[in-house]
């Protein structure tokens, strides 16, 4: 693990946070998360992502759709401003980018990081926050979970992650990933559906 490239680790952790954060049910008690997570079979949601950067006049807003089926099928799809689809199914991971002539397969950094995400997801889905080798989890004001990277190599890229659960069990309102004081990403989940039957083709076809 220690020899992974920082960029790969960055994507791996990001993907894990994005995916696992939607699973949380909030009662102010970190230990109860694992019980909540076990009841979730599938999840789907719309999301709005805001990238905040010092350079930007206004945050860069991306919108998309998210689907997850246990044990490890994922579709993370950006609809705008740049269309892209990340698919994970049966341990195989592919990414497609929308161009003038439709979608084409991409070899970018996202695909590299996602190759090892699945193992980490299993850990998070089991609710093992305390045992997570990458982050120290704390609860702030009984309303927010704050994840602080343990390893200096990781903290160079992510300073902290804040998970804001909603009042609805099994649903999180938003996740904020801080790269630094003036660079952070906020993802808000909307229209979250829990335990719906999701077609397998969602995770295999672009």
- Tell me how far apart the alpha carbons of residues 148 and 157 are, in angstroms, rounded to a whole number: 11
Figure out which of the listed residues 111, 123, 146, 148 binds other proteins, where binding follows CB under 8 A.
Answer: 111
Token pair in block for residue 35: 């019980």
Task: Tally the residues of the chain.
Answer: 206
Query: What are the start-end ranges of the H helices in 106-156?
Result: 109-114, 117-125, 152-155
- Counting residues that bind other proteins (by CB under 8 A) gives 44
Min. distance of Cβ 197 from other proteins in angstroms?
28
Where in 35-94 is the site for other proteins (CB under 8 A)? 49, 51, 53-58, 60, 62, 78, 81-82, 84
Query: What are the start-end ranges of the H helices in the chain?
Result: 6-21, 33-38, 109-114, 117-125, 152-155
Contact 11, 112 (CB under 8 A): yes
Cβ distance to other proteins smaller for residue 44 or 84? 84
Q: Is 87 exposed, middle or buried (0-12, 13-18, 19+ CB in 10 A)?
A: buried
Contact segment (CB under 8 A) with other proteins among 1-9, 23-31, 36-44, 129-137 equals: 1-9
Question: Does residue 157 bind other proteins (CB under 8 A)?
Answer: yes
Residues that bind other proteins (CB under 8 A): 1, 3-8, 10-11, 14, 49, 51, 53-58, 60, 62, 78, 81-82, 84, 97, 99, 104, 106-112, 115-116, 119, 157, 177, 179-180, 182-183, 185
């Amino acid at each position: 693990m220690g020899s992974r490239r920082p960029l790969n680790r960055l994507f791996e952790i990001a993907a894990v946070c994005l995916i696992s954060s939607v699973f949380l049910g909030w009662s102010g008690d970190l230990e109860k998360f694992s019980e909540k997570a076990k009841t979730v079979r599938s999840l789907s949601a719309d999301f709005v992502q805001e990238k905040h950067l010092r350079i930007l006049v206004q945050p860069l807003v991306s919108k998309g759709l998210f689907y997850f089926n246990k044990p490890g099928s994922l579709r993370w799809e950006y609809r705008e401003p740049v269309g892209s689809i990340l698919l994970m199914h049966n341990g195989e991971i592919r990414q497609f980018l929308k161009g003038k002539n439709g979608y084409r397969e991409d070899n970018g950094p996202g695909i590299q990081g996602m190759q090892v995400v699945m193992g980490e997801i299993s850990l998070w889905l089991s609710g093992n926050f305390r045992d997570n080798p990458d982050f120290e989890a704390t609860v702030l004001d009984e309303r927010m979970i704050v994840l602080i990277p343990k390893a200096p190599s990781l903290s160079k890229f992510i300073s902290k992650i804040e998970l804001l659960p909603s009042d609805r069990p099994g649903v999180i309102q938003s996740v904020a990933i801080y790269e630094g004081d003036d660079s952070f990403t906020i993802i808000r989940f909307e229209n979250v559906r829990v335990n719906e039957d999701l077609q397998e083709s969602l995770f295999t076809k672009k």
